[in-house]
Amino acid sequence: MQPPAAPLTDAQLRELLRSSRTIAVVGLSADWNRPSHFAAKYMQQHGYRILPVNPRYAGQVILGMTCVGAVEDLREAVDIVDVFRRTEDVMPLARSAVAIGAKCLWQQLGVMNLEADAWVRDAGLTSVMDRCVKIEHARLFGGLNWAGVNTGVISARRGGG
């Protein structure tokens, strides 16, 4: 197994998010207050197509889309497979991401499966670990300062913009 790749640069993350439009969110919860729901709703509000994947909610509608039970049940092209699952659950999802032709396996905050990282990179996919897609989008495309996060952007305008 190869060592983990260096984390993507901001320019690489920005290009990934700019060129990707469809995100399969594995572990997406129907509960509005769960991190997976909050992040997916944010991305949906920023123009991304969200495809819910969660066997618990298969057949139900979450964020206006019918949830499927497994990544392989998706019937449209996927750019990013965004994983809200435990680290030990990621390897089968990495195989699924490769099988459906996704461009990227994204492991959310606190999720770092090194075997899955190496496996998808060997298969030609981009791999992101231990990062939140919503936070990275907001950081790279604007939107964190409204929540009181210091983005490092200095402005003379009122309101931090």
Residues 102-145 pLDDT 10s = 999 999 999 999 999 999 999 999 999 999 999 999 999 986 65
Q: Tell me: pLDDT of 156 over 70.
A: no
Kindly report the number of other CB atoms within 10 A of residue 18's CB atom: 11
Strand 65-66 to 61-62 pairing: antiparallel
Residues 9-53 pLDDT 10s = 999 999 999 999 999 999 999 999 999 999 999 999 999 999 999
Domains recognised in the chain with CATH numbers: 10-160 (3.40.50.720)
Residues 74-100 pLDDT 10s = 999 999 999 999 999 999 999 999 999
